[in-house]
């Protein structure tokens, strides 16, 4: 089934949760956004989407240190970057278009819906661009940013080592100071996405490593730029040892990288020695958000496939049907599944767009206080956008398999691939468990709790506005109950012992994400221009409230009890 870019749904998310049209976007109009969305959607559907199946079947191949991407990958990557799509968000000083984050997020959804295994490569390049732009020396910026922004070169993130995944304090990769201001890097990194491939001339690795005199733990980690090809055109002392055989995203090479077989790969320090994690954290908001957007993309694709199948497949008789077999889309239980898929995807899209808009405001607002508050808002929303969107991606893709019945279990329909591909998303870029801990232990207290309070107040305003516009509906009662349950849970967690907060963090994050996303969807129903679109979104928002938000209230009510129960259980 072909991919239909959901241009109007994305534009609505940009206008409402993304606040396109507000002061921070004076230089960027809805007409600009619409024109870009039209072109990007076309490219995604016509050129990238056909790679999806072939990438899954062929996978990336390894031989003698070289990685070959699946058929068509190289050619599409070249025409995609030559068309300027890699440069959307990059800094203008180095050839980027410096468009707002809401625009980058919108296009990221297209690329990932079309083929997530292909699109993860530029997502990592974007992270490398951001880290270099924020922390590298002017000389490194001059040498690397133009090529990374044009997409002629790609970037990677090298954090993970066998003994060091979620916890980076145990990193062992070594760095030694050279006499010429460069560093010699030695060690092994695992699971490195696009660590080696044949789509670009050079690969710029950002590597976390430890100097011999560095303090132990995370305070002794430095960040280095280690290119595959050195400025003099020779090969650096690094190689891909092997690639992994994975559950999904087969087209994306996941590499074991060896640095320093011949005495040490040449690297350049980014930022200050021992401050590498701080440099990484600068780009965490964006990278985590973009992984959330990958979730929205794959959920949208799975939803479209499920709708298409349900419109064709005939089985049984739906209530009220008189002639022959009904299309399965008419069966109430299938309708329920399809609505669940569509509304969860829409909610995640709104949440990601709200996060992108907060990032934009933190960079574009005219006064310092507004920028600071926006940054706090972006920091609060980021773990929600990452976790919620990637969790629902797995759920939506799984429901998509169910809608297909037995056919969903076979590879021909593609439904199984969406499920397999989605499964990595809650794991990489900080597992969703780590995101929830980040929310509960750090983000709730931002600006003395004011950031969260304001977001909940906005949610309440959306409820009141919707009631004014659409009249009384069950939505209000459900949302009010959820907000009250959430506030009670947040208060209880703020004074709870850490073990309790850590155990309650995951359901707590889900409850908050669902409630806030529901407010954004309701707001979108109020803002939609056309009466039919308005009514449809209102209907979706009510369905989402009746199913998901109602559960969120229950999750809050049980989070502490569940955490207490966990505490008393001993597992060996
Ligand atoms: C396909 C793929 C691509 C990847 N790409 C890259 C890449 O490009 N660059 C890179 O550097 N890495 C990459 N990774 C690595 C990825 O980021 C890690 O797998 C991830 O951070 C989790 O680390 P881990 O696998 O060691 O799991 P672990 O850290 O061992 O975690 C196992 C489980 O324990 C939980 N857990 C761990 N610590 C805690 C804690 N303190 N509190 C509560 N729960 C905890 C986790 O949430 C998880 O559920 C990739 C991984 C995969 C599978």
In the predicted model, what is the mean pLDDT of residues 137-153?
Answer: 98
Comparing 281 with 401, the larger pLDDT belongs to: 401
Under the banding of pLDDT at 50, 70 and 90, the label for residue 472 is: confident
Please tell me the distance between residue 434's alpha carbon and the centre of ligand 1 in angstroms: 9
- Is 428 near ligand 1, meaning CB less than 6 Å away? yes
- Is 157 near ligand 1, meaning CB less than 6 Å away? yes
- From the CA of 166, give the closest atom in ligand 1: 29
Mutate to test the pocket of ligand 1, among 119, 123, 165, 253 (most ligand atoms within 8 A of CB): 165
In the predicted model, what is the mean pLDDT of residues 134-138?
Answer: 96
Give yes or no for residue 341 having a pLDDT over 70: yes
Give yes or no for residue 285 having a pLDDT over 70: yes
List Cβ neighbours of 246 (8 Å cut-off, separation of 6 or more): 254, 424
Please tell me the distance between residue 171's alpha carbon and the centre of ligand 1 in angstroms: 13
Q: What is the pLDDT of residue 474?
A: 84
- Is 21 near ligand 1, meaning CB less than 6 Å away? no
Under the banding of pLDDT at 50, 70 and 90, the label for residue 1 is: low
Please tell me the distance between residue 474's alpha carbon and the centre of ligand 1 in angstroms: 41
DSSP calls for 90-149: S-GGGT-----HHHHHHHHHHHHHH-HHHHHHHHHHHHHHHHHHHHS-HHHHHHHHHHHH
List Cβ neighbours of 514 (8 Å cut-off, separation of 6 or more): 347, 388, 482, 548, 549, 551, 552
Give yes or no for residue 568 having a pLDDT over 90: no
- Is 159 near ligand 1, meaning CB less than 6 Å away? yes
Q: What is the pLDDT of residue 137?
A: 97
pTM of the model: 0.97
- Is 191 near ligand 1, meaning CB less than 6 Å away? yes
Q: How far is CA 115 from the centre of its chain?
A: 14
- Is 68 near ligand 1, meaning CB less than 6 Å away? no
- From the CA of 249, give the closest atom in ligand 1: 1
Whole-number mean pLDDT of the chain?
95
Please tell me the distance between residue 428's alpha carbon and the centre of ligand 1 in angstroms: 6
Give the position of tokens 């056909």. 50
- Is 434 near ligand 1, meaning CB less than 6 Å away? yes
Q: Which residue, by CA, sits nearest to atom 26 of ligand 1?
A: 165
- From the CA of 208, give the closest atom in ligand 1: 11
- Is 402 near ligand 1, meaning CB less than 6 Å away? no
Q: Which residue, by CA, sits nearest to atom 29 of ligand 1?
A: 166
Please tell me the distance between residue 160's alpha carbon and the centre of ligand 1 in angstroms: 8
Q: What angle do CA 133, 82, 26 make, to 5 degrees?
A: 55
- From the CA of 252, give the closest atom in ligand 1: 1
Please tell me the distance between residue 511's alpha carbon and the centre of ligand 1 in angstroms: 23
Express each pLDDT in 350-364 by its tens digit: 999 999 999 999 999
Among 9, 4, 49, residue whose Cα is nearest residue 311: 4
Q: How far is CA 212 from the centre of its chain?
A: 35
- Is 192 near ligand 1, meaning CB less than 6 Å away? yes
- Is 160 near ligand 1, meaning CB less than 6 Å away? yes
Mutate to test the pocket of ligand 1, among 160, 169, 189, 508 (most ligand atoms within 8 A of CB): 160
Q: Which residue, by CA, sits nearest to atom 14 of ligand 1?
A: 191
Least confident range from 381-385, 452-456, 475-479, 515-519: namely 475-479
Both tokens assigned to 326: 């009904």
φ, ψ dihedrals at 29, nearest 5° = -100, 165
- From the CA of 432, give the closest atom in ligand 1: 47
Express each pLDDT in 161-185 by its tens digit: 999 999 999 999 999 999 999 999 9
Q: Are 441 and 512 in contact (CB under 8 A)?
A: no
Q: What is the pLDDT of residue 561?
A: 86
Give yes or no for residue 284 having a pLDDT over 80: no
- Is 363 near ligand 1, meaning CB less than 6 Å away? no
- Is 424 near ligand 1, meaning CB less than 6 Å away? yes
Q: Which residue, by CA, sits nearest to atom 48 of ligand 1?
A: 431
Q: What is the pLDDT of residue 84?
A: 97
Q: How far is CA 216 from CA 188, 223, 264, 434, in A?
A: 19, 15, 22, 22
Please tell me the distance between residue 522's alpha carbon and the centre of ligand 1 in angstroms: 35
Catalytic residue among 161, 361, 429, 557: 429
Q: What is the pLDDT of residue 462?
A: 93
Mutate to test the pocket of ligand 1, among 190, 428, 509 (most ligand atoms within 8 A of CB): 428
Tell me the pairing of strands 183-193 and 174-177: antiparallel
Q: Is 548 a catalytic residue?
A: no
Express each pLDDT in 90-132 by its tens digit: 999 999 999 999 999 999 999 999 999 999 999 999 999 999 9
């Amino acid at each position: 089934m072909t991919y239909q870019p959901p241009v109007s749904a994305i534009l609505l998310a940009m206008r409402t949760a993304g606040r396109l049209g507000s002061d921070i976007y004076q230089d960027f109009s809805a007409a600009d956004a619409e024109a870009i969305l039209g072109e990007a959607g076309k490219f995604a559907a016509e050129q990238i989407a056909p790679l999806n199946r072939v990438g899954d079947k062929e996978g990336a191949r390894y031989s003698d240190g070289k990685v070959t991407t699946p058929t068509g990958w190289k050619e599409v990557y070249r025409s995609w970057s030559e068309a300027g799509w890699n440069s959307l968000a990059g800094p203008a000083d180095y050839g980027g278009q410096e468009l707002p984050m809401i625009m980058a997020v919108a296009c990221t959804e297209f690329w990932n819906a079309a083929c997530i295994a292909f699109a993860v490569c530029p997502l990592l390049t974007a992270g490398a661009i951001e880290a270099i732009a924020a922390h590298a020396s002017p000389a490194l910026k001059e040498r690397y940013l133009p090529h990374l922004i044009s997409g002629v070169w790609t970037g990677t993130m090298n954090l993970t080592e066998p003994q060091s995944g979620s916890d980076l304090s145990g990193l062992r990769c070594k760095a030694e100071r050279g006499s010429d201001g460069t560093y010699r890097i030695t060690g092994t990194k695992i699971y490195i996405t696009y660590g080696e491939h044949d789509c670009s001339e050079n690969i710029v690795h950002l590597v976390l490593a430890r100097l011999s005199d560095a303090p132990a733990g995370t305070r002794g980690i430095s960040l280095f730029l280690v290119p595959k090809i050195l400025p003099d055109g020779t090969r650096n002392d690094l190689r891909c040892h092997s690639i992994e055989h994975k559950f999904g995203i087969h087209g994306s090479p996941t590499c074991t990288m060896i640095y320093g077989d011949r005495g040490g790969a040449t690297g350049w320090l980014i930022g200050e020695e021992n401050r590498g994690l701080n440099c990484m954290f600068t780009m965490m908001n964006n990278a985590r958000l973009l992984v959330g957007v990958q979730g929205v993309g794959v959920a949208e694709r799975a939803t479209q496939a499920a709708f298409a199948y349900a419109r064709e497949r005939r089985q049984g008789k739906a209530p009220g049907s008189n002639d022959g077999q009904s299309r399965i889309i008419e069966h109430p239980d299938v309708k329920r599944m399809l609505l669940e898929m569509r509304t969860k995807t829409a909610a995640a899209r709104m949440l990601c767009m709200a996060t992108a808009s907060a990032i934009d405001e933190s960079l574009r607002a005219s006064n310092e206080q507004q920028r600071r508050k926006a940054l706090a808002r972006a920091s609060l929303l980021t773990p929600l956008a990452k976790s919620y969107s990637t969790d629902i991606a797995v759920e939506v893709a799984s429901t998509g398999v169910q809608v297909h019945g037995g056919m969903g279990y076979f590879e021909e329909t593609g439904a199984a691939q969406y499920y397999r591909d989605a499964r990595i998303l809650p794991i990489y870029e900080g597992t969703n468990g780590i995101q929830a801990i980040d929310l509960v232990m750090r983000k709730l207290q931002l600006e003395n709790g004011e950031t969260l309070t304001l977001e909940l107040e906005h949610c309440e305003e959306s409820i009141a506005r919707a009631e004014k516009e659409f009249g009384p509906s069950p939505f209000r009662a459900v949302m009010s109950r959820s907000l009250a349950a959430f506030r009670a849970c947040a208060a209880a967690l703020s004074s709870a012992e850490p073990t309790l907060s850590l155990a309650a963090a995951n359901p707590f994050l889900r409850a908050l994400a669902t409630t806030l996303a529901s407010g954004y969807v309701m707001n979108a129903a109020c803002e939609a221009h056309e009466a039919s679109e308005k009514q449809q979104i209102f209907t979706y928002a009510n369905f989402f409230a009746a199913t998901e938000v109602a559960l969120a209230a229950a999750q809050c009510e049980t989070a502490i009890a569940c955490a207490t129960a966990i505490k008393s259980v001993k597992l060996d």
